[in-house]
Amino acid sequence: MRGGDSEQLRLGVDLGGTKMEAVVLRLLESSFEIVTRLRRPTERALGYQHIIDALTELVHEAARQAGLPSLPPIGIGMPGSISQRSGLTKNSNTTCLNGRPFRADVIAKLGREVRFANDANCFALAEARFGAGRGQRVVFGVIMGTGVGGGLVFPGLGGEPDAWDGPQGIAGEWGHVSLEPERGAPCYCGRRGCIETYLCGPAIESLYHSRAGHLTPDRTPLTLPEIVARQADDAIAQEVLAEHCRWFGRAIATVINIVDPDLIVLGGGVSNLPGLYEQGPREAAKWVFSDELTTPIVKHQLGDSAGVIGAALLP
């Protein structure tokens, strides 16, 4: 560590359903430098206390590898949010966190204050400050992977981008707007027809399998990358991916009609589908309350680092 830089160091953690990641970041005047970066599996099947223990061990290890004598300011991006009324976790697709005092337990175990935010908010914040949304006033960040989330970024009091949580901690949660509340598929949130049930990666894989029935040699359904690879010669793959773009256009139009952001940036594994940037805007234009659609819909620039970088920007 260079002398005199300690005040510019931040530690971020991105807690995902399959992996958790920690980074020590050095903030520079208009950019950042990653000092150290670590990953480990979340192993959520092992339960709530295992996640607490694994996360706090990861924090200490990241600080040790960065050569820090003590913990720097810490931010954690998490699935779901913390209820302001009860202090308990809600709306997390890592369901063992729901109804538990995750924030309080992490703070108690680390012995210091920690900033928390929804993981999609962290993604949006990083892309707005250092990535695809740099220089834009209002950015909506979308994560489409095993789930679907969103984060909304406005200029803060100091002019820097700042994620907006809202008084209930649900700002940007477009994934749980219901498109078909009567006929749609059940969602883990207890409702039916949520955007997440149409646009997440597993939904595409399930829809393709239900129509084509193709299996891999080990008798498991094809993964999304495998479906995309078949697209040129597979009419069902073409049909399923085109249908996904139609649903995406209808869903993202709800955000544009309400927020009218300067830019929408996509992240997560599903964001690699090229049709989202070609057919997606055309489909969205059919549902936007305007005679034109000028909102750029772009791919992330920070890769899978965006979430953990955004977490490090919280404190």
pLDDT, position 146: 86
Cα separation values, 17 from 11, 14, 20, 194, 303, Å: 20, 10, 8, 19, 18
b/e per residue, 285-302, with b = 16+ CB within 10 A?
A: beebeeeebebebbbbbb
Edge-to-edge order in the sheet of strand 9-15: 32-41, 19-27, 9-15, 74-78, 115-118
Say if residues 186 and 196 touch (Cβ distance below 8 Å): no
Kindly report, residue by residue over 271-305, the tens digit of the pLDDT. 999 999 999 999 999 999 999 999 999 999 998 88
Residue numbers in the chain where pLDDT is lower than 50: 1-6
Kindly report, residue by residue over 79-94, the tens digit of the pLDDT. 889 998 899 999 998 8
* Superfamily of structural domain 6-124+305-312: ATPase, nucleotide binding domain (3.30.420.40)
213 vs 59: CA distance, rounded Å: 44
pTM of the model: 0.91
End-to-end CA distance of the chain: 20
pLDDT, position 7: 57
Domain 136-299: which CATH class?
A: alpha beta
Kindly report, residue by residue over 17-44, the tens digit of the pLDDT. 889 999 999 998 888 999 999 999 999 9
pLDDT, position 284: 98
pLDDT, position 93: 83
CATH 3.30.420.40 domain span(s) along the chain: 6-124+305-312, 136-299
